[in-house]
Chain A
Amino acid sequence: MKQTPSQTAGPFLHIGMMPEGGTVPLVSPLPSGDPITLHGTIFDAESAPVTDALIEIWHPESGWARAPTDGQGSWRLATTRPPTAPFVSLWIIARGINTALQTRLYFPDADWPNDPAMAKIPRARRGTLVASQAAAGAYHLDIRLAGEAETVFFDLQGGDDQ
């Protein structure tokens, strides 16, 4: 069977994905681990903030979380630091994004330069995935959908048959 096509989430994704009441909050339990905060801003090709996006993070060692961007295009998520992995996975949707974007946030104090994925990425672009330490336990990563310093996005494929 063929994959169901993607379509943009449109500007009103909050209705279904950030419901304001009437149902149970969608949360996954935080594994025990050091609590951290991740934050950043999503920019478009003209460096304007993307104020109607939604970002999700996932790692089996740190759980799942999601946040919408605010009026400044900024997002903020509370999670835990994965004890062994150098990154968490990110998934981004918004009006104007036809097919959801998948990327990663690498921790600056992890051994990210030797992560196997980095070898697939042109050297000059690797830094777009590496967060900066904003404070103790707080990491910052801006996402640039297009234009200068465009974030690296992935198509995850293969890898499950070895």
Chain B
Amino acid sequence: MTPLDWDRHPPALTPGYFSSVTRSPRENLIPLNPTTAELTGPVFGAQHIGALDGDLLRNAAGPDELAIGPRIIVHGRVLDEAGRGVPDALLEIWQANAGGRYRHARDGYLAPLDPNFSGCGRVLTGEDGGYRFDTVMPGAYPFPNGPNAWRPAHIHFSVFGWAFAQRLVTQMYFEGDPMIRHCPIVATLPSAEAVDALTARYDPANDRPMDARAFRFDIVLRGRRTTPMEA
């Protein structure tokens, strides 16, 4: 397994994101050769995907109802560092509604809930590592982190690869959003390139004309170390 690439991942302690201060280990991570335990992982399949799990426009909507907000398609591929597609990777996704409000007991933001939107989805990658889901563009929302902090529009992702050591949780942002450069959580990332890697691109070639705009977001998981033979 390749090590975590600290040119890409945020360090544990990032004082500009207040919540990290009391929740970040101060000791260094200890490098460890994974055993079979960590080089395998749970296997999920089509039986774990409900019929509407990949359609957030409809999966919490009443009959003949739809979620409110700009209709979008999010798609891309899950890859390893060698660029190979990861098939049967499970993606769990969650997001705020178009007004920036989560359907969660602890979210008290002023923006109203949408009775037809839960913000929860789940998809499995295909043979080439490809995935897609339909949803609404999430709204920006404020969060407690100093006098005035806002999250850019974003979608949360939890990704399972083939190994437990590949487990990833991240967030996807949207190309052109002016809120990205003001966000203290985005600012935990170590470089502009890392921010760019989390920024989905508008992808008009995959729009559904007169229906929904497409955004492309590829996800690269840690992988096997390349052997000299392959290099």
Contact = CB atoms under 8 A, between A and B. Distances in A.
Interface of A: 1-17, 19, 22-24, 26, 28, 44-46, 48, 50, 52, 56, 58-60, 63-64, 85, 87-89, 91, 93-102, 116-117, 120-121, 125, 145-147, 150-161
Query: Interface on chain B toward A: helix, strand, loop, or mixed SS?
Result: loop
Given A17-B158, A146-B22, 15 more contacts: A2-B5, A4-B218, A8-B17, A13-B156, A14-B104, A88-B37, A96-B22, A98-B10, A100-B168, A150-B25, A157-B1, A158-B33, A158-B225, A160-B1, A160-B225
Given A7-B198, A154-B32, A97 B23 contact: yes
B55 to A, nearest CB: 11
A58 B42 contact: yes
Interface in B79-117: 79-83, 90, 92-94, 102-104, 106-107
B5 A3 contact: yes
B30 A153 contact: yes
Contact of A96 (B19, B49, B221, B225): B19
Interface residues of B, number: 90
Interface in B175-230: 185, 188-190, 193-194, 197-198, 218-222, 224-225, 227
Q: Is the interface of A mostly helix, strand, loop or mixed?
A: loop
B49 A60 contact: no
B164 interface: yes
B118 to A, nearest CB: 6
Contact of B82 (A1, A145, A154): A1
Contacts of B8: 2-5
Contact of B224 (A59, A63, A160): A160
B110 to A, nearest CB: 16
Contact of B27 (A24, A64, A94, A150): A150
B42 A154 contact: no
Contact of B24 (A5, A17, A93, A98): A98
